[in-house]
Structure 1
């Protein structure tokens, strides 16, 4: 891992673990991409920049064939000869939008700097990474940009970010500020995205590139259920374990765009960053603007290789705090058991039933505050509902603690109900535009986190509550997207900064609260998986993967989520049957097996289940305690895709290749079915493995090459968990 600069050729050679990224300063002026891929020794690829004269491509110099329209630029601008998608765009007081950034210099330093006010991947020592900063400037208007690149010694990762400075005498408007732009010399890729909707998040969608632009985006004020801030480009021969894959992931929780533009010469430009719609940042002289971080991953071992790189990086150098390296507790949440209708005695009965089955944490969901008996009131009134909890949270937490369980609580701190004391006192504290309606969604409005007074109120109120009882877990929810995006405190020229300022304010609030309460396990939620992104994971180590707890639907949701995110970040629970979202009837065994592939828990009334179900749950909980460290910290391999057929399979294997957990799931029964032989991955071929619970012993080479035969299963919705230990 290193960054080398060769002044004679003006070449920067960035080398991550097994990756090279090469930048050339063309004409001593334009940072140009020469290569991104598997590690190579010689960085001088300038001979590959030559091209014939392109008709209608503007020439920078009349006597020479040199045009920005085909140059593979590191950070292309708008309006000076490159007709492809720009990475940045500005507007000057005279109304013009032309700017051209020229190379001025560079610095190389050990380690990785933090980003002011934004989440980012981190290092724990300077010898883990090296950072290159390229300084570019438009001297005519005084606009400076610093392009930051960090390469990692133990990961095939390059992180990129950009910071703009106005060093001129007039204000500048940033209309577009992408975090990364990468040009490829061809378009022979498949574009992979993670898309869906509420209760069917992050399904895998793959399509070939062709002329024009393909993009995924969110303009909802959140990363969204519909799209994820990620794209991957797969070589045409790529599989799970072979072929080249390029991933781009944005460490951000708000409006974003990830896109690829294929031009007339079939070159491809991939970009990711803040969505330009609704973004217009006012830079006064002396001010600066920091764009979010993009995490770029190259894999020459297929989609699985890319995923495992993201998993390890995000698990160990994005997630922070006490719970990064600790097994997560097994919980019971009362939401689907009681909804808003509960009493302290009812809660205690559910908690007691959970404790008897070996559970470790009880979570009180919605309905405990204000006058909250349904979803049309009291958000913002973060004081105890005395009608339901006459002795307060302390009494309830003590009851749960006396059972030997931890106590957790649900919040939705970003929202306010019109029917609330907070809204009646501060109607200007919500996002709104003067003289326009205040559109409600789920009977609620959004607090304006761009305001310092709102942030201070939330930090103090939530901190007081978390200090009032022995609370060890918080589920932080957010259940609507932004409309009428405006702030009562921002001047007219800064109104289109509101959406981004909201996210910056959210990060400030989360950082303050999680720092004050490091012993609390925070789980983020947004109607389930509506904000499952790297930005949130920087503050909260896990996310409620989806409000859909149906085991069959969760196969696709969790499989798709695993493209980028490790199992340790996924909340995955067993709920009642018939399922409350789709009405499907599935066995407790299958529901448990699917949920075991994440942070395990239950969402049902344990006080009413029968003896047979209690016996099964007790076994599931005991098994989870045996394997949860493996699930949360092991390498993950996808074996059979639910998007390709009736079967799904995946496996977790420890880094030392001693233990492995394999999950197999079949959705529908088939008459006279074919025999499934499941071939495992990454075992030690020289070791023998015992299938726990049996006397069967298999060679690692046999399990990987010949496989293991799945026994005959009768009926729909079947599953099997196989736990192997080397002997």
Structure 2
């Protein structure tokens, strides 16, 4: 059993293959957190708790004579509010009488087979008997507020998911001003925080900082998980490396406003609280009402960051991604965006498709500019009718010619937005997020539709359902090119406007769920100005996400490096783009651009007709190489062989097959040197007793030699040279 509940002692232990998680409901009904780390078997760890008379830390009601017992110093599973714990809290509320306190006490615990679900929210799913659920019920007796903590124990995956359901079992309304998904109290430390910051065109840059006696906060208030902060954080012991040491991750399955907070307490314990951001948030729970806080994926490793990443990668592929495309090879595509932008007609698209077909490309994706009066980014969004005048043909004629060439057809859409000069806005101006009496802020001359309104979601569902049902479309790129402002819903009363951003996300998830269920054969790729909504919530509907609008290969190394700490390479949309690059002006060899793009879902985003004959032959070879490499991306393990943030000369990474029979090592020189040091890399994860052939020098080495002695590369000169080395097992010793 993964879950063990001792009803006599109140001790509850969760077991995965390599880890244990223990808590304890004491005689006062307070649920203590005791441990999360390597497996401990059946041990009772209550003896590790430390009690002391800590000045100015009050005692809860009924414990006034026991001065070493305080909610302010105990490690807890989920905190109340206003009753003596002054650290970061999980709850902030106002009861029917206006009081702000909530004293949550244990009611019950039960283990049930299978995985819980969350109403309206994406969450991990289980196959067969791969998960068991703990339902831990807490209650505030005065307000009648019940909090059910949900724990999904994926034993074989070494992941424990957490979520919270808040229900009003009282007689009056309760306003929630904060309702976190999970609290993790670590009794002992120290820990360092690894988080992933950035900006548009430079997302998910890792930064590692010590935790200290202040509150460190990661957040987005942009209506999306954002380019600036990813809803994923790692706590690592100070000396943890890729290959050794303790670390644990917290990843939200959520795509909207979020907050992850960390605090080191006066007693040296560390608290992490994660969930929906409480900035501009409130939710009114009427009697009988329920609020679902999004899921958090917790994972622990005592074998370094590489093993933590590997566990997240496997888990997301097996239990988050639901698309039938999850395990399938993805088609190599050509996207017309950087070749044409919005200046195209059907003939130009057909010419691109014909050239792509001749080089081995499998899909053409038509990007922005195919609909409405859309000649630039100031108009058209919301009027999703094919522009026959601009293209010079019907939609089916355009698609039919592409299909006759043997290519699949894909399409760019941006359903969540509307421009004010469209028929949709003229008919339904109240559907946009705007505040009465205020001129709204705009981004890219567009407003955001209020997806918190069911009629808006139904309209979009009907429109795009018809689009996919009536036309031969194999792929959808779902974009979102501005963040939310003027968040105000015309259908909510003034006192409930704090619900609008959360309801927007419920509407988005509903729309995605309906369309992806109705069209499982369609490959959906998420996008939000590139990587502005790259999170586990979107991966529940889109098995891949456009990693960044920055297609510069040298920048992409760092972006894909940071992304790989939590997200598998097969989820990263990555293309070979034009040189000089359109974002940076940097010139990079076609071979290097391909090596970098092959670390994700591979495609091209340039005018293939402008390539030389020699470059076109290279494209044919690159596509064939990617076909050989793709199984390693879908099934293998990703290793970061160098630190792409601090690399000064070269960056290297590796993909290894699950049975260790094959590996691919990629090396990109980012700063060629005069009188250079040797470029030397040690591989990882090979069978030490097996013999391997490496393609660079055509030599044979043992796995032990490649992992301990490594490979020394010949001098690589020129502008950003790269090499890809294939490692093949030949026989065992």
Asked if Structure 1 and Structure 2 have the same fold, meaning a TM-score greater than 0.5 normalized by the shorter chain, the answer is yes
Contact 2:52 2:69 in 1 (8 A): no
Greater displacement, 473-482 / 646-655: 646-655
1:129-208 correspondence to structure 2 within 5 Å: 129-208=131-210
1:201-600 correspondence to structure 2 within 5 Å: 201-600=203-602
Please give the TM-score of this superposition, normalised by the length of structure 1.
Answer: 0.99
C-alpha deviation, 1:612, in angstroms:
1.3
C-alpha deviation, 1:316, in angstroms:
1.3
C-alpha deviation, 1:358, in angstroms:
0.3
- In 1, the alpha carbon distance for the partners of 2:13 and 2:425 equals 56
C-alpha deviation, 1:408, in angstroms:
0.4
Equivalent residue of 2:218, what SS?
A: strand
The residue that corresponds to 2:103 in the other structure is 100
Equivalent residue of 2:182, what SS?
A: strand
Aligned residues: 726
The residue that corresponds to 2:679 in the other structure is 676
- In 2, the alpha carbon distance for the partners of 1:317 and 1:94 equals 43
Contact 1:529 1:544 in 2 (8 A): yes
C-alpha deviation, 1:139, in angstroms:
1.4
The residue that corresponds to 2:117 in the other structure is 114
- In 2, the alpha carbon distance for the partners of 1:258 and 1:531 equals 16
Is 1:714 aligned to residue 725 of structure 2? no
The residue that corresponds to 1:662 in the other structure is 665
- In 1, the alpha carbon distance for the partners of 2:637 and 2:665 equals 12
C-alpha deviation, 1:472, in angstroms:
0.2
- In 1, the alpha carbon distance for the partners of 2:224 and 2:607 equals 32
- In 2, the alpha carbon distance for the partners of 1:67 and 1:280 equals 29
1:612-651 correspondence to structure 2 within 5 Å: 612-646=614-648, 647-651=650-654
> 1:522-580 deviations in whole A, cap 9, x for unaligned?
00000000000000000010000000000000010000000000011000000000100
Equivalent residue of 2:651, what SS?
A: strand
C-alpha deviation, 1:7, in angstroms:
2.6
The RMSD of aligned alpha carbons is 1.1
Structure 1 residues 645 and 239: CA distance shift in structure 2, 3 A: same
C-alpha deviation, 1:468, in angstroms:
2.4
Contact 2:5 2:109 in 1 (8 A): no
Equivalent residue of 1:59, what SS?
A: coil
The residue that corresponds to 1:705 in the other structure is 708
C-alpha deviation, 1:493, in angstroms:
2.3
Flag as ranges the 4+ runs of structure 1 deviating above 3 A. 692-695
- In 2, the alpha carbon distance for the partners of 1:254 and 1:317 equals 21
- In 1, the alpha carbon distance for the partners of 2:80 and 2:301 equals 29
- In 2, the alpha carbon distance for the partners of 1:565 and 1:102 equals 37
- In 1, the alpha carbon distance for the partners of 2:493 and 2:713 equals 65
- In 1, the alpha carbon distance for the partners of 2:72 and 2:142 equals 22
- In 1, the alpha carbon distance for the partners of 2:155 and 2:140 equals 34
Contact 1:662 1:723 in 2 (8 A): yes
Equivalent residue of 2:325, what SS?
A: helix
- In 2, the alpha carbon distance for the partners of 1:500 and 1:392 equals 39
Mind listing any 5+ residue stretches in structure 2 that lack a counterpart? Answer: none
Contact 1:22 1:43 in 2 (8 A): no
- In 1, the alpha carbon distance for the partners of 2:634 and 2:668 equals 20
The residue that corresponds to 1:37 in the other structure is 37
C-alpha deviation, 1:716, in angstroms:
3.1
Equivalent residue of 1:292, what SS?
A: strand
- In 2, the alpha carbon distance for the partners of 1:700 and 1:231 equals 33
The residue that corresponds to 1:15 in the other structure is 15
- In 2, the alpha carbon distance for the partners of 1:468 and 1:383 equals 13
C-alpha deviation, 1:494, in angstroms:
1.7
> 1:216-252 deviations in whole A, cap 9, x for unaligned?
1000000000000011110011000100001000000
Greater displacement, 322-331 / 184-193: 184-193
